[in-house]
Chain A
Amino acid sequence: MSDVAVSVKGLTKIYGHKTVVDAIDMEVPAGSIYGFLGPNGSGKTTTIRMMCGLLTPDAGEGHTLGYDIQKQAREIKERVGYMTQKFSLYTDLTIRENLDFMARMYRLPNRKKVVTRTIEELGLSGRGNQLAGTLSGGWKQRLALAAAMQHKPQLLLLDEPTAGVDPKARRDFWDEIRRLSKEGVTILVSTHYMDEAIQCDNIAYIAYGKLLIHGPAREIPARVGLTTWRVDGPDLIPLEDELRADPRVEQVARFGAQLHVSSTNAKALEELVAEQRKKDKQHRWVKKEAELEEAFIYLMTTAADNFTPNGEAKP
């Protein structure tokens, strides 16, 4: 095995007249947790589907676990675990029947034992005969993850696995992901949540089908190059309006009772802060470390200016 789990070049998918995925180059290092971020309809799901051979790209090429994504889809499928965005096991089968079905699909030896162990590891012993459809959202996700992991894949593709799941279940889910990563499984996970993005080793950000930035998570804010000041105090709304109108401010984002004011031009922003401090004693300005969230909002906004979206992309 090379040290690259997934590598794609110029990956493109077109539905009708809409380019859903536009010439994406990406490399997922083996053994890493790779976060795949981007707004809804940005092409994350389509990209993941192409990586595991479910969709044929219209242009570009790629290899997953060393196999050609166009010609060796079957080899890839044998070695990849894929968890869909929507729960897609059989709701009218029991937990055990679902796991048994998946075990048969991958022709696992000692099927009965494997399934029993999976159920035990899930902590669902004694509930194996419960219908999968009656599980709560969090448990459904864990079951789907267990089903995708049963054949011990080298690569796990998770498509928004925690969407609509409560915070406790989300935390448990990520504990499980980190445990799998320690065992050497490469994980590509798409998400909307910043607290999840921070837990990734590497991050790629995609919007309107284009890959805007990718790299190690901690380097992303610096690469975007934003300087951010945090403001708190009373009556933030008029201040927010005033700051938005100022050409030296590129981005104002509200976080709870604070405003995060950002710009790529650190000097201009410092001038503004000095002016504000002089005329307005109510608000407190503190320079802060740039974080992922501001960086992504910034990327999103500039991307929106560059590519006018024509309607919602196909999921």
Chain B
Amino acid sequence: MNLFSLSRFRAVLVKEFIQMRRDRLTFAMMIGVPVIQLLLFGYAINNDPRNLPTLLELGEESKVARAVVSGMDTSDYFDFQGFVFGPDAGDKALREGSANFVVVIPPDFERDILRGLSPELLVTADASDPTAVGSAVAALSGIVETAIAQTLDGPLTAVAGRPPPFSMVVHKQFNPEGRTATNIVPGLLAIILAMTMVLITAVAIVRETERGTMETLISTPVRSTEVMLGKILPYVLIGYVQTLLFLIMAKILFNVPFEGSRMAFFVGFNIYVVVNLALGFLISTLVHTQMQAMQASFFLILPTILLSGFMFPFAGMPGWAQAIGTAIPATHFLRIVRKIMLKGAQMADIAIDLRAIAIIGGMIVLIALLRYRRTLD
């Protein structure tokens, strides 16, 4: 009986390997994806981030205050970036994301300790990303206590020992309950838009080349800008629908607030969508089939999820990973969405992120236009 022909089986096997090798993009994906994942997960991702930017509001210049500052600084959870004056400045820094912590040492801190009045040390943490600040907050109390205890010599020895001579108030701002959903949901919008917008555009354009309709299209007097705009606009509208649905569901299902300026959101959203569509357009100029367009989009989405600060705290990544993350549009839009929805940011607060997206977008559009030609060669 000839139930299984080894020769035919081998023929299929060999053919499959030949085809695998010929399809260079798939081959690169099969090798590239595990390697990149390993490098990203292994080196870049750190759920216990150190050196979080911290600002200090100093109500007095004293030995104890200095000890608190140096104690926090040497713990390497905190990285003192400078001083702020007044509560507004501190809030602004937190909202803009230029600092994760603001530490307030009140006036007469040292004197109140000496008098045994247990003064309040106020630490405001940006809890919109609970993972990023969580371990630092947890370690804070011990760090400060040790620092103060070491300074309590001479006239201060009297108050040394337990209970701690001060009380620490940690104010978790923007997400006081530290809910993960509050952090994840706004970020998810950036990821979802990146995924769908890039993929849909790339596939829609490559479809023209793959089916041969591009040849008829470019045999007409049509200009590349007309094709680009005409192809992209419908997908901008789809992005609108997606986002609207998303925001409604975020509110109803997850009770994620929307604190900030709608106008700022609208502006940021539009720029982000355009940049993603341009990226899709760029991919379409590099691949030949819809299948390859999907693979390439998938390849891009991986670093977008891992390095944008969506899943893992951006501050915890090493410099090279942050550099890659900075080049990803989602990184900046994610910050915009979190700032606006959770921190009540206004246009001025997101200016820096808008500029970053605009620069990235400008470069993508430039490369895409250079790649796209009206001729077939």
List chain B residues, Cβ under 8 A from A106.
Answer: 220-221
List chain A residues, Cβ under 8 A from B377.
Answer: 55-56
Given contacts A54-B375, A73-B374, contact A88 B222 (CB under 8 A): no
| B219 x A77 contact (CB < 8 A) | yes
Q: With an 8 A cutoff between CB atoms, is B218 at the interface?
A: yes
Interface string of A24-57 (1 = CB under 8 A from B): 0000000000000000000000000100111110
List chain A residues, Cβ under 8 A from B374.
Answer: 73
Distance between Cα atoms of A78 and B211 in the complex (Å): 23
Task: List 20 contacting pairs A-B, 8 Å CB cutoff, sorted by A.
Answer: A53-B375, A54-B218, A54-B219, A54-B375, A56-B375, A73-B374, A73-B375, A77-B220, A77-B221, A80-B219, A82-B219, A84-B212, A84-B219, A87-B212, A90-B211, A90-B213, A102-B220, A105-B220, A105-B222, A106-B221
List chain A residues, Cβ under 8 A from B217.
Answer: 105
Q: With an 8 A cutoff between CB atoms, is B108 at the interface?
A: no
Q: With an 8 A cutoff between CB atoms, is A179 at the interface?
A: no
| B220 x A88 contact (CB < 8 A) | no
Total A-B pairs, Cβ < 8 A = 49
List chain A residues, Cβ under 8 A from B219.
Answer: 52, 54, 77, 80, 82, 84
The number of residues on chain B lying at the interface, defined by a beta carbon within 8 Å of a beta carbon of chain A, is 16
In the assembled complex, the CB of B191 is this many whole angstroms from the nearest CB of chain A, namely 30
Given contacts A77-B221, A88-B211, contact A55 B216 (CB under 8 A): no
| B221 x A84 contact (CB < 8 A) | no
A88-B213, A88-B215, A106-B220 provided; 18 other pairs, C-beta below 8 A? A49-B376, A52-B219, A54-B219, A55-B376, A73-B374, A73-B375, A74-B221, A77-B219, A80-B219, A82-B219, A84-B215, A88-B214, A89-B213, A90-B213, A91-B211, A105-B217, A105-B220, A105-B221
Interface string of A69-84 (1 = CB under 8 A from B): 0000110011010101
Distance between Cα atoms of A306 and B220 in the complex (Å): 38
Residue on B nearest A159 in the bound complex, by CB: B215
Interface string of B183-222 (1 = CB under 8 A from A): 0000000000000000000000000000111111111111
Residue on B nearest A81 in the bound complex, by CB: B219
Distance between Cα atoms of A77 and B221 in the complex (Å): 5
Interface residues of B (CB under 8 A from A): 211-222, 374-377
In the assembled complex, the CB of A135 is this many whole angstroms from the nearest CB of chain B, namely 15
| A84 x B211 contact (CB < 8 A) | no
Interface residues of A (CB under 8 A from B): 49, 52-56, 73-74, 77-78, 80, 82, 84, 86-91, 102, 105-106, 147
| B212 x A88 contact (CB < 8 A) | yes
| B216 x A84 contact (CB < 8 A) | yes
List chain A residues, Cβ under 8 A from B216.
Answer: 82, 84, 88-89, 102, 147
Given contacts A84-B215, A89-B216, contact A78 B375 (CB under 8 A): no
List chain B residues, Cβ under 8 A from A84.
Answer: 212, 215-216, 219
In the assembled complex, the CB of B5 is this many whole angstroms from the nearest CB of chain A, namely 32
| B215 x A55 contact (CB < 8 A) | no
In the assembled complex, the CB of A100 is this many whole angstroms from the nearest CB of chain B, namely 13
Residue on B nearest A54 in the bound complex, by CB: B376
Residue on A nearest B226 in the bound complex, by CB: A105
List chain A residues, Cβ under 8 A from B220.
Answer: 77, 102, 105-106
Q: A54, A90, A147: which contacts B215 (Cβ < 8 A)?
A: A54
List chain A residues, Cβ under 8 A from B221.
Answer: 74, 77-78, 105-106
In the assembled complex, the CB of A37 is this many whole angstroms from the nearest CB of chain B, namely 22
